[in-house]
Amino acid sequence: MPVQWTPDLSTKVEAIDDQHRELFRQLDLLLKAWHAGKGRDEVEKILQLLDDYVSYHFRTEERFMETYRYSSTAAHKAQHAVFTASFGRLKDRYFRSGADASLIEETNELVVDWFVKHLRYSDKALGLFLKMKVQTGVGHALL
């Protein structure tokens, strides 16, 4: 199953949407590498890049939340922590046992069940809040 960003996932904040598109691209690369049986070195490189990018992306969103005093910051950060922990468990499992069908399935579920839902609800709400800040002249450099 290809992992693709679609316009219905847009937060309407260009910086966040650009990062979401890149996350989808990297997740798709990882799943394709696993399905194609790519070598451990290649998969580990993708995993590390993805892990680094997820951290970078979460820091970006959290910086926006803190800068503009988003009321749901604590809950949103907690969701990021859940994803980080889940992804960490999947990575650890890969390093212990390699990519098997159940790991690929769990990764797909993490992407669909957590990541897509998080974008659709939590990140869209954040985007709406940030756009309101820009429209009222409080926010800047978000577009």
pLDDT tens figures, 2-42: 678 999 999 999 999 999 999 999 999 998 998 888 888 99
Q: What topology does CATH give the domain 13-135?
A: Four Helix Bundle (Hemerythrin (Met), subunit A) (1.20.120)
Burial state string for 64-99 with b = 16 or more CB within 10 A and e = fewer than 16: bbeebebeebeebeebbeebeebbeebbebbeeeeb
Q: Is-contact 139 130, C-beta < 8 A?
A: yes
With 0.85 as the threshold, say if the pTM is over it.
yes
Neighbours of 34 (CB within 10 A): 21
